[in-house]
Chain A
Amino acid sequence: AQKVTQAQTEISVVEKEDVTLDCVYETRDTTYYLFWYKQPPSGELVFLIRRNSFDEQNEISGRYSWNFQKSTSSFNFTITASQVVDSAVYFCALSEEGDKIIFGKGTRLHILP
């Protein structure tokens, strides 16, 4: 069965600090997809990234970067030089081939000015 664990329930950092959100997943499939979504205070779910299981290359998009390590079943998300606007709940999610997207419980990130 597929499972996503986000052990960090809530994190607070001061603006401009770097912060890493952890995500550990479980799956029996060799083909699967990993996602990160952001849920700002306004409530909508904003898609950030999708990565398939065959692509372990790390990705950087501006201040955001993702570290995918199959050996540890982790797909961690780092925000560099955090800003107050980054305050949100971040969800890691997993989808096996042709199956539903399963979300972790989310990490609430507070960026303090």
Chain B
Amino acid sequence: DSGVTQTPKHLITATGQRVTLRCSPRSGDLSVYWYQQSLDQGLQFLIQYYNGEERAKGNILERFSAQQFPDLHSELNLSSLELGDSALYFCASSETGVLNTEAFFGQGTRLTVV
């Protein structure tokens, strides 16, 4: 158990809808990272938050947004969903704001868009 909690584990929704994925980092970790794992693109970095502030941005679509709350949990919002958004979404956390530290990953949320 990595200590990173993601909910829900599975999500099925229709095209055009909006969903929110939630991540609770390990106790004491200030940084949260979001990754998308799809069959064709592999594991892609989306975005990082550190202590409530956006720290780094990767291949995140404009339809997607994220935030980190004062209690350090983070939410990834996906809107106007398309079939291609079906993927496994991972959250990771680390103690510092530097991405090359040891990052602990949650179990992921599997999103299926139908």
Contacts and interface: CB of A to CB of B under 8 A. Distances in A.
Interface residues of B, number: 23
Interface stretch (A10-18, A58-66, A76-84, A90-98): A90-98
B105 A44 contact: yes
Contacts of A99: 56, 99-100
Interface of B: 2, 33, 42-43, 45, 48, 56, 58, 88, 90, 92, 98-108, 110
Contacts of B101: 50
A44 B106 contact: yes
For the complex of A and B, 9 pairs with smallest distance between CB atoms: A95-B100, A45-B105, A103-B43, A33-B100, A100-B45, A44-B107, A105-B42, A100-B99, A43-B108
Given A37-B105, A47-B105, A96-B100, 18 more contacts: A33-B100, A42-B107, A43-B110, A44-B106, A45-B90, A45-B105, A47-B2, A47-B102, A47-B103, A95-B99, A95-B100, A97-B100, A100-B45, A100-B48, A100-B58, A102-B45, A106-B42, A106-B43
